[in-house]
Amino acid sequence: MLGVVDMVLRPSRSAAAAAVLLAATGFVALCSAGSGGGIAVDSGPLARSPDRTLCSQLIEPAGYPCAEHTVETKDGYLLALQRVSSGNREFGAEGAPPVLLQHGLFMAGDAWFLDSPVQSLGFILADHGFDVWVGNVRGTRWSHGHVSLSEKDKDFWDWSWEELALYDLAEMIRYISSITSSKVFLVGHSQGTIMSLAALTQPAIAEMVKAAALLCPISYLGHVSAPLVLRMVSMHLDQMVVAMGIHQLNFRSEIGVNLLDSVCDGHIECNDLLTSITGKNCCFNNSRVDFYLEYEPHPSSSKNLRHLFQMIRKGSFAMYDYGFFKNMKMYGQLKPPAFDLKSIPQTLPLWMAYGGNDTLADAADLQLTLEELQSKPELLYIEKYGHVDFIVGLKAKEDVYDHMIEFFTSFGKSLSS
**Does residue 1 belong to any structural domain of this protein?**
no
- pLDDT reported for residue 235: 87
Q: Is residue 54 situated within a structural domain?
A: yes
Q: Out of 32, 143, 177, 190, pick the active-site residue.
A: 190
Catalytic residue among 321, 358, 365, 389: 358
Residue 75 known to be catalytic: no
The pLDDT value given to residue 231: 86
**Alpha helices by DSSP H, 82-152:** 121-127
Pick the closest to residue 378 from 356, 413, 406, 412 (CA basis).
Answer: 406
CATH number of the domain enclosing 375: 3.40.50.1820
What distances in angstroms separate CA 68 from CA 63, 84, 248, 365, 382, one per listed residue? 16, 9, 26, 37, 35
d(CA 162, CA 337): 12
Give yes or no: 387 in active site: yes
C-alpha distance from residue 360 to each of 3, 190, 247, 376 (Å): 16, 8, 24, 22
Residues 349 and 211 sit within 8 Å (Cβ to Cβ): yes
- Whether the bond into 45 is cis, omega within 30 of 0: no
142 belongs to a structural domain: yes
Whether 142 contacts 136, CB under 8 Å = yes
How many helices (H) and strands (E) in the chain? 18, 10
- Domain-located, residue 205: yes
Inter-residue contact 278 to 345 (CB < 8 Å): no
Collect the ranges in the chain with pLDDT lower than 50. Answer: 1-45, 414-417
Residue 17, CB half-sphere, CA atoms under 13 Å: how many? 16
For position 28, what pLDDT does the model report?
A: 36
> How confident is the model over 13-47, as pLDDT tens digits?
333 333 333 333 333 333 333 333 333 334 444 55
C-alpha to C-alpha distance for 269 and 266, rounded to whole angstroms: 8
Decide if 287 is catalytic: no
pLDDT of residue 254: 55
Asked if residue 121 is part of any domain, the answer here is yes
Amino acid 49: pLDDT: 62
Task: Classify residue 4: in a domain, yes or no.
Answer: no
Q: Distances from the Cα of 121 to the Cαs of 115, 126, 396, 397, in angstroms? A: 9, 9, 9, 8
pTM, 2 dp: 0.87
Based on the structure, what is the number of domains in the chain?
1
* Per-residue pLDDT, 92: 67
For residue 2, tell me if it sits in a domain. Answer: no
| Residues sharing a CB contact under 8 Å with residue 184, sequence separation 6 or more, in sequence order | 98, 99, 100, 133, 173, 176, 177, 208, 209, 210
| CA-wise closest residue to 263 among 289, 236, 228 | 228
Supply the pLDDT for residue 180.
Answer: 95
Whether residue 209 lies inside any domain: the answer is: yes
Residue 203 Rama label (left phi>0; alpha psi -120 to 50; beta): alpha
Q: Domain residues for 266?
A: 13-416
